Amino acid sequence: MKTKVAIVGAGPAGLLLGHRLRAEGIDVVVVERASADYVLGRIRAGVLEKTTVDLVEQVGLDARLKSEGLLHAGFNLSDGDRLIRIDLQDLVGQQVTVYGQTELTRDLMDAAPERGLEIHYEASDVAIHDHHTDRPYVTFVSAEGREERIDAEFVCGCDGFHGVSRKAMAAAGRSYERVYPFGWLGILSDVPPCNEELIYSNHANGFALASMRSTTRSRYYIQVPVTEDINDWPDERLWDELALRLGPGAAANMQRGPAIEKSIAPLRSFVFEPMREGRLLLVGDSAHIVPPTGAKGLNLAASDVHYASTALIAYFRKGDSDAVDEYSRKALARVWKSERFSWSLTNLMHRFPEDSAFEREMQRAELDYIASSRAAQTTIAENYVGLPL
Ligand code: APR
Ligand code: PHB
């Protein structure tokens, strides 16, 4: 096979990038290790920044997002007793859209055939070659067991944290990492949300989050030790703990139901620099991971797609490689700011096993300050709706 851009990975980053390039008439081939159903089975955060929504609109695949997505003008921080509302609309004049990543992925997948976005699912032994030259190529074994080769002008590594792309350039790069001493136990259930807007709560027992996918489907999380066994959390115990940690107001409105999905995810902050080496560009989780506090993972992938697609479009239209040379610097400037926000919100809202009473008082004082200061709330709101591209 011969194409302009070979994309490794068909998660949100690979699919969005593929559609953006196809919309400009650039040929693309995507190889994905898993099956389409497996990709859709992954449950991830569901809060979209306006810049992410704009990108989906730009590729003309925003119809369902616009009709089914919920616009949220604010969200809440809770210290277990009171709610501090961050009024996004009033503070920074913007809202966020609550729309599950699963649904967005489905929209992008479903539109692939009609947009000429060729995706090879269930590809094994995917390998990237010669990205230091002008003729990089990708090899893989197809679902049917055939050995395949894609000759391209660029390769984009959209294959997530555990993919092969970052490893292909790891020798020349540098990693920065913080692993947190807890995970999030999440439950998805077909019950109406306990509150119209999200609640992030810092309770003596640990963090909790009340979120949603729609007006009839709720998503909740609690902080648990990384060593926790999910079998120790039957649904009823989890609902009791959520009611306790989210506070009496939320508890009074909380409807309980059976779990559609329940799992524990570890929390990590990670950045790999640079995000480009020769003709290989890293996009999304392959280059960086944020803890889910603040829901920046998918939004960062979308902003990488914006910078990478702009650079590649300039290259294929005008033969201008300056933008490709600048990709890593531009993308990382935004990545580090989102890393900082996700890290600071994680520090503010979780109970760390190693913390002394002093650190706990620092959290309390900061929440008190946020409750009383429009400037502090504005800082949070500006980051939550997404910094400008
Ligand atoms: N070859 C081909 N595909 C691969 C390989 C490989 N060697 N390794 C991984 N993949 C695929 C995975 O199966 C997955 O479908 O790459 C895809 C990467 O998708 P994500 O992990 O979702 O990463 P990304 O698209 O960057 O998503 C960014 O969405 O999924 C969330 O947590 C993620 O919020 C973040 C955002
Ligand atoms: C979610 O709905 O899954 C969600 C929302 C907000 C977050 C993280 C996850 O910060």
350 is catalytic: no
pTM for this one? 0.97
Give dist(CA 272, CA 253) in Å, integer.
43
Catalytic member of 296, 306, 330, 350:
296
Give dist(CA 127, CA 6) in Å, integer.
11
Which ligand ends up closest to the CA of 219? Answer: 2
- Number of H helices and E strands in the chain, helices first, is 13, 20
Domains of the chain in start order, with CATH, are 5-45+101-176+268-346 (3.50.50.60)
Find the 160 Cα to ligand 1 centroid distance in Å. Answer: 4
Give dist(CA 156, CA 169) in Å, integer.
12
**60 in helix, strand or coil?**
coil
Q: List the chain pLDDT tens, one digit each, 389 residues.
A: 999 999 999 999 999 999 999 999 999 999 999 999 999 988 888 899 999 999 999 999 999 999 999 999 999 999 878 999 999 999 999 999 999 999 999 999 999 999 999 999 999 999 999 999 999 999 999 999 999 999 999 999 999 999 999 999 978 899 999 999 999 999 999 999 999 999 999 999 999 999 999 999 999 999 999 999 999 999 999 999 999 999 999 999 999 999 999 999 999 999 999 999 999 999 999 999 999 999 999 999 999 999 999 999 999 999 999 999 999 999 999 999 999 999 999 999 999 999 999 999 999 999 999 999 999 999 999 999 999 99
121 is catalytic: no
Give dist(CA 119, CA 29) in Å, integer.
6
Ligand 2 atom showing the smallest separation from residue 296 Cα: 10
What length is written for the chain?
389
Q: Which protein residue's CA is at the shortest distance from atom 10 of ligand 1?
A: 159
- CA dihedral sign of residues 332, 338, 341, 342: negative
Ligand 1 atom showing the smallest separation from residue 164 Cα: 7
